Structure 1
Amino acid sequence: MVSFKLHKVAGVLIGLWLFNLSLTGLLLNHEKNLFQLDFMWQWTLPSRLFSSDALKMHRFREVSSYKVHPENGRQLIGSMRGLFVNTGEGFKQVFKGRVFKIEPYRDKNLKEDYSTVFLATDDGIYRYSWNGMPQPAGMQGMVITAISVYGNTVFCAVEKKFLYRFDLVSGKAEEIEIKSMPKVEHINFRRFVRDFHYGRGVADQPVSAVLNDIVSAWWLWLIVSGYLIFFLYRQSKKRKIQKVSIRKLVFFHSNVFTLIMIPFIFLLALTGLFIDHPRFFSPLINFNLPLWSMPPVYHSPEKDIWDIDYDGKVLRVGNRFGLYTSSDMKNFLIERKGFAYKLRRIENRLYLSGMGAPSGYFDGKKWHILKLHMPVDFVLDGKPVKRNELPVFSKNIPFYTFMVTLHDGSFFHRYFIFLNDVGAVLTFVLLFTGTVRYIKRRR
C-alpha cells in the first residue's frame, strides 16, 4: 500500500514536467543524431519570448562555423538553419539548410583565398562567392558533416561515418576506406554519461538514436497512461466507470516491456542529473573504464568522424577518442587523445577545439595547448571565438533552441534546472515503486 501511495503522489506531482522532458528529449535526440526534423531549425520564435538566462546560455547553439574575410572584415555564420552573411547593413540569410562547416579555398601551398568559400551542408558541398546564393559544387543529396579543401580536392565526412575524396574539376567522388584505426584502452565514464544521454552511447547510428527514441516514447506513454489510470480510478469511486477498463489500462501501463525499459529510463534520468551538475558530480563520474566493458560504439572509432583536415601530406580525423593521422589515408595512428571536436586550419596552422579535452594548435612541428573551452571557430590570425562572442545575426530563435531551453528549464529561469533534479529523483521513486507494484500484482 505504501508503494502504491508513493507511486501515485510522485506521478501526480512531477508527471507534467517529466512529460516535457521526455517529449523535448525525444525531438532533440532524433534531430541531433538523424538530421531528419528540418522544421526544428526552420520554425523560429521571437527572441523576446525567452528569458535572459536562456539567451545567454543557448542563443548561438545553432552556430557551427564562423568566418571573417581577412581583407574587408565581412562575416559569415554557418548554422543549422542556413548561411548568414554580413552585407554591411546587417546579416542576411543566403542559404536555407544545415551548414556544418565553412572552409575557404586553399591552394596546395596552403595559402587561403577567401573570395571563394565552400560549405559542408546536408545537401552536399556548396560554393559561395560572397554575393548571390551559394551554388552546388558536388555530392548533392549527401549529408556532408565536415570538409577540408586542398587545391581542387575536397575531403569530406559523410554523416560522421564515411570518408570521401571529391574532385572539384571532374566532379567525381571516391570513398576512402579506413583499414585500421587503433582503439583507445580506456573510456572516461564522464564521456559515456554524455554520449548515452545524447543518443550516441550504445552502437553506431542510427541504432543509439533509435534506442533513445523508443525509451523516450515509452516513457511518454507511461506518463500519459499513468494520469489516465489516476483519473479513471477517481471516477470509478463515483461509479462512473467500470474497474475492468482500468485493469486493461494497467496491463498496458505495467508489463514486461516496461520492465525492459526501466534500466534505460533510469540511465537517462541519472545521466541527465550528472550533466546538469558536472562539477558537483565530478568525483563520481571522472574515472576510466576499460574498453572491453564499454558498448559496441566505442569499439569502432573509424565510424566516428567529427571533423577532418588535410595538409597535402597528412590526413587527420578528429573524433570522440582523439585526433588520428594517416599519410596513406588507410592506416591511422593516434596523435592526441581526448575528444577532438573541431579542426580548423588557417594556412600552416591547424587549430583544434576540444570537448572535455584541451584545445590547441599545431604549428607543423609540435602541439601547443590553448587554455579555453570549446571555441566555436578560429578566425584571422588564429583568434578563438566563443559562442557568447558571436554577433547577433537573427532576431529570431529556432524551434530547436526553444526545445533545448524547455528541456533544461532555462526558458523560464536558470534555476528551473533544479526542477529537473526533482524530476530525476522522483523518476527513481516511480521506477522502484512501479516495479514493486508489478511484482506484487504478478504474485
Structure 2
Amino acid sequence: MVKLFKLHKFFGLLVGLFLLVLGLTGFFINNRQWNFLYTTTVRNVPNTTLMEDKKLFEAYWIDSEDTDHIIVGGKRGIFETFDEGETYSQMTDLQCLAIKTDANASYAATSDGIYVLKDNKWSLYALQGNYVNALAVTDKYLLASIDKHRLLLIKRDDASVVSDTVVKIDASQLQDDITLKKLIKDLHFGRGLLNGKLSALLNDYGALALIFLSLSGYLIWWYIHLKKKAEMSRKLIKWHANSVVVLAFIPLTILAVTGIFLNHSGGLKKFMTETVVPHSVLPPVYSSLTSDICSVDFDGTTYRIGNRYGVYKSTDLKSWKQETKGFAYRMARIDGVLYVSVKDGSNRFYDGVWKTLEDVPYTFKDAYDYDDEVKFFTYKHYEGMMPEFEDATLFSTLRTIHGGVFVAPWWKWINDFVAIALLILGFTGISRWIHKKRLFSKRTSKQE
C-alpha cells in the first residue's frame, strides 16, 4: 500500500492541475446550452480558437427581393447586413439554432423561444423560456422541437399550441448497428449511455468530481507539507476518498478512454469507422432516443424528425417509421423538396422518392433558395461573407483549451498522458480505499 500511495501522490501532483483544467472546461462544454458561454467573449486568443468560433453559425438567409440583404444566425446571435456581407450589425444576442422563412414571414428558433421578424426587428412569437433547437414552417403551422425532446405544433395565425408531444419511437424501428466512431463520440459528449439528460448529468458528475479531487488533493498535500491544520487535513482526506467520489471513476474512466481515441480520430479513422458495434450490445439510450431530435420537417400532412439513426416519419405524432438511415443532422424544405444534411454519410433529398444529394458540402448547416438555385450553407464555404470578430466566445475558448489546440496540435499527446495518469490515479486510489475499508471492517469485527 505504501508503493501505491507514493504512485498516487506522484501522479496526482504531476497532473492535478491539468485534470483541474480538463474538469472545468469539460463541465462547461457539457452544458453548451447556457447563454453566457456565447455572450461572454475573450480577446487575444489564437487563430485556432477564432476558427472554432466560426463553427457556431447555424443559419443563412438571403432576401430574394434584395440580395444585398442577408441574415445570419448562430450561437452568438443573429446578424444582418445590407451590403452583401461587407458589414454586419447584431440584431440579438440570443442563441439562434435555425431561421425558417416563406413568402409571408421569417422565424428564428432561439434559446428563448421562437422569434419573428417584424419591421426589421426580431420580436418574441411563441414558447418564451424554451430552448427551441429545430423548426419547420408551413403556410398554417410551425413545428418546433424543444430540448431535442418535445414536438410542438403551433398555429401561425395566433401562435397557439395545437399539440405538445413527447416523441416515442417503437424499439422495432431502433435496431441499427453503429460504428465505433459514433459510439465513442456519443459516450464522450454525454449522449451515449442513458435516456434524456441522464448521460449528460453523468458527465457533469464526473467533471465536478474531477475538479474536487484535483483541488482537495493539492490541499491535502500542502497541509501535510506545512504540518499544519491536521484536523482540516483529515477531513479533506475523508472527503477525497469517499464512496461518492469513488463512483465518479466510472464516468471518468469512460471519458479518459474515449478522449484518447478522439485525440487521434484522424489516425484511427479507418479503424473506428470500419468497426461496427451491433445494436444488441449498445447502451439503453439507443433503444429509445427520446431526447435526440436534431431536425424537424412538416409538409402539412407528414411529420418528420431527424436523429442519429436517420429520418423518421409520422402522420399522427404517435407511430413513427424510419425512412432513411444516417445521422439526420439538419433538414430544410425548399419548393416542396426536402434536403437532409447527414453526418457520417451521404446527404439526401426527398421529392417523392429519396435520392442521394451529389456535389454539395459535407454536413451543411442550412439550405436556401438563391436566384432559383438551392444553395447549401457551411461556414467553410462562406469565408469572407460572414460576420468577423476579433474575439471568441467563452465556449470556443474553453473547447479549444479542453482539446489542447488552444496551445498547439501536439498538445493532444499531453492530454493522452493526463488521461492515462487519471486511470492510474483511479486504480491506485480505489485500491487504497478498498484496503482501508477492509482494515476498518476487521477492526470493527474484533471489537465486537
TM-score above 0.5: yes
Q: Determine if contact 2:59/2:377 at 8 Å carries over to the other structure.
A: no
C-alpha displacement at 1:306, in angstroms? 0.9
What letter matches 2:378 in structure 1? K
Q: Determine if contact 2:109/2:133 at 8 Å carries over to the other structure.
A: yes
Decide which of 152, 155, 163 is 1:167's aligned counterpart. 155
What letter matches 1:118 in structure 2? Y
Moved more, 417-426 or 323-332: 323-332
SS at match of 1:160: coil
Q: Determine if contact 2:192/2:285 at 8 Å carries over to the other structure.
A: yes
Give 4+ residue runs of structure 1 displaced > 6 Å after superposition: none
C-alpha displacement at 1:172, in angstroms? 1.6
Decide which of 74, 79, 102 is 1:79's aligned counterpart. 74
What letter matches 1:368 in structure 2? T
Q: Determine if contact 1:12/1:227 at 8 Å carries over to the other structure.
A: yes
Determine the structure 2 residue equivalent to 1:436. 431
Q: Aligned ranges for residues 14-29 of structure 1 at < 5 Å?
A: 14-29=15-30
Q: Aligned ranges for residues 311-350 of structure 1 at < 5 Å?
A: 311-350=299-338
Moved more, 116-125 or 70-79: 70-79
Determine the structure 2 residue equivalent to 1:191. 182
- Structure 2 vs 1, CA of residues 142 and 52 (structure 1 numbering), >3 Å: closer, same or farther? closer
- Structure 2 vs 1, CA of residues 325 and 241 (structure 1 numbering), >3 Å: closer, same or farther? closer
What letter matches 2:401 in structure 1? L
Determine the structure 2 residue equivalent to 1:414. 409
The CA distance in 2 between the partners of 1:417 and 1:383, in whole Å, is 36
Moved more, 15-24 or 325-334: 325-334
What letter matches 1:344 in structure 2? A
Q: Is 1:96 aligned to 2:93, yes or no?
A: yes
SS at match of 1:278: coil
What letter matches 1:27 in structure 2? F
SS at match of 1:414: coil
The CA distance in 2 between the partners of 1:12 and 1:392, in whole Å, is 45
Q: Is 1:155 aligned to 2:150, yes or no?
A: no
SS at match of 2:158: coil
SS at match of 2:233: helix
C-alpha displacement at 1:366, in angstroms? 2.7
C-alpha displacement at 1:50, in angstroms? 1.7
SS at match of 1:279: coil
- Structure 2 vs 1, CA of residues 38 and 405 (structure 1 numbering), >3 Å: closer, same or farther? same
C-alpha displacement at 1:350, in angstroms? 1.8
Q: Is 1:404 aligned to 2:399, yes or no?
A: yes
Q: Determine if contact 1:351/1:382 at 8 Å carries over to the other structure.
A: no
Q: Is 1:385 aligned to 2:377, yes or no?
A: yes
The CA distance in 1 between the partners of 2:15 and 2:274, in whole Å, is 30
The CA distance in 1 between the partners of 2:232 and 2:290, in whole Å, is 52
SS at match of 1:155: strand
Mark the runs of 5 or more structure 1 residues left unpaired by the alignment.
Answer: 106-112
Q: Is 1:287 aligned to 2:275, yes or no?
A: yes
C-alpha displacement at 1:19, in angstroms? 0.7
Q: Determine if contact 1:53/1:414 at 8 Å carries over to the other structure.
A: no
C-alpha displacement at 1:29, in angstroms? 0.8
What letter matches 1:93 in structure 2? Q
Q: Is 1:201 aligned to 2:192, yes or no?
A: yes
The CA distance in 2 between the partners of 1:296 and 1:174, in whole Å, is 32
Determine the structure 1 residue equivalent to 2:107. 118
Q: Is 1:55 aligned to 2:50, yes or no?
A: yes
Post-superposition Cα deviations, 1:269-313, rounded to whole Å, max 9, x if no partner, equal 111112222233342575333434333322223542111112234
Q: Determine if contact 2:196/2:290 at 8 Å carries over to the other structure.
A: no
Q: Is 1:3 aligned to 2:4, yes or no?
A: yes
The CA distance in 2 between the partners of 1:301 and 1:5, in whole Å, is 45
The CA distance in 2 between the partners of 1:180 and 1:72, in whole Å, is 43
Q: Aligned ranges for residues 140-289 of structure 1 at < 5 Å?
A: 140-175=128-163, 177=165, 178=167, 180-181=169-170, 182-236=173-227, 240-242=228-230, 245-282=232-269, 283=271, 286-289=274-277
Aligned residues: 423
The CA distance in 2 between the partners of 1:180 and 1:270, in whole Å, is 31
SS at match of 1:317: strand
Moved more, 197-206 or 96-105: 197-206
C-alpha displacement at 1:262, in angstroms? 1.3
Post-superposition Cα deviations, 1:147-174, rounded to whole Å, max 9, x if no partner, equal 1111021111121111111111132212
The CA distance in 1 between the partners of 2:138 and 2:386, in whole Å, is 31
What letter matches 1:61 in structure 2? K
Determine the structure 1 residue equivalent to 2:364. 375
The CA distance in 2 between the partners of 1:176 and 1:258, in whole Å, is 39
Determine the structure 1 residue equivalent to 2:421. 426
Q: Determine if contact 1:349/1:363 at 8 Å carries over to the other structure.
A: yes
What letter matches 1:378 in structure 2? A
Cα-Cα RMSD:
2.3
C-alpha displacement at 1:351, in angstroms? 1.7
SS at match of 1:83: strand
The CA distance in 2 between the partners of 1:101 and 1:121, in whole Å, is 7
Post-superposition Cα deviations, 1:184-220, rounded to whole Å, max 9, x if no partner, equal 2434333232122212222233322222211111111
What letter matches 1:305 in structure 2? I
C-alpha displacement at 1:61, in angstroms? 2.6
- Structure 2 vs 1, CA of residues 180 and 193 (structure 1 numbering), >3 Å: closer, same or farther? closer
C-alpha displacement at 1:415, in angstroms? 2.5
Q: Determine if contact 1:23/1:220 at 8 Å carries over to the other structure.
A: yes
- Structure 2 vs 1, CA of residues 370 and 440 (structure 1 numbering), >3 Å: closer, same or farther? farther
SS at match of 1:134: strand
C-alpha displacement at 1:343, in angstroms? 0.7
Post-superposition Cα deviations, 1:16-39, rounded to whole Å, max 9, x if no partner, equal 111111001101112x2xx3x321
